[in-house]
Amino acid sequence: MAKFKKLISQILSGTSDANISFNKIREIMEYLGFKERIKGSHHIYSRNDIEEILNIQPKYNKDKSYQVKQIRNIILRYKIGDTPDE
């Protein structure tokens, strides 16, 4: 649980978007309640109470920085994860 809080804080800070590993992003998406389906290198995440569908793919075992920004926006918009408002 503490590792997820640390990872969510790292995503929300926006200071290291290009340095977050793809596997950590997959773990956090599962922790946040997203369902994953895989089509080739694309990992597509959805959740019943969230309109957006997130499509992420790795870049040299890291996540692409714009995709981390999309995840950050979802966390903030829907107030999910371990944010102070939850």
Q: Is residue 61 part of a domain?
A: yes
Q: What is the CATH number of the domain that holds 31?
A: 3.30.920.30
pTM for the structure as a whole: 0.88
Q: Is residue 35 part of a domain?
A: yes
Q: Measured between alpha carbons, how far is residue 63 from residues 72, 84, 86 in Å?
A: 13, 25, 26
- Quick: pLDDT tens for 48-83: 999 999 999 998 889 999 999 999 999 999 999 864
pLDDT at 84 over 70: no
- Beta strands 42-47 and 50-56 are antiparallel
CA pair distance 18, 78, nearest whole angstrom: 23
Q: Is residue 74 part of a domain?
A: yes
Asked whether 32 and 80 are in contact (CB, 8 A), the reply is yes
Q: Is residue 84 part of a domain?
A: no
Q: How many domains does the chain have?
A: 1
Q: Is residue 17 part of a domain?
A: yes
- Structural domain of 19: 2-78
Q: Write down the residue that tokens 């990992």 correspond to.
A: 43
According to the model, what pLDDT value does residue 2 have?
Answer: 87
Q: Is residue 12 part of a domain?
A: yes
Q: Is residue 70 part of a domain?
A: yes
CA pair distance 48, 66, nearest whole angstrom: 23
- Quick: pLDDT tens for 19-53: 999 999 999 999 999 999 999 999 999 999 999 99
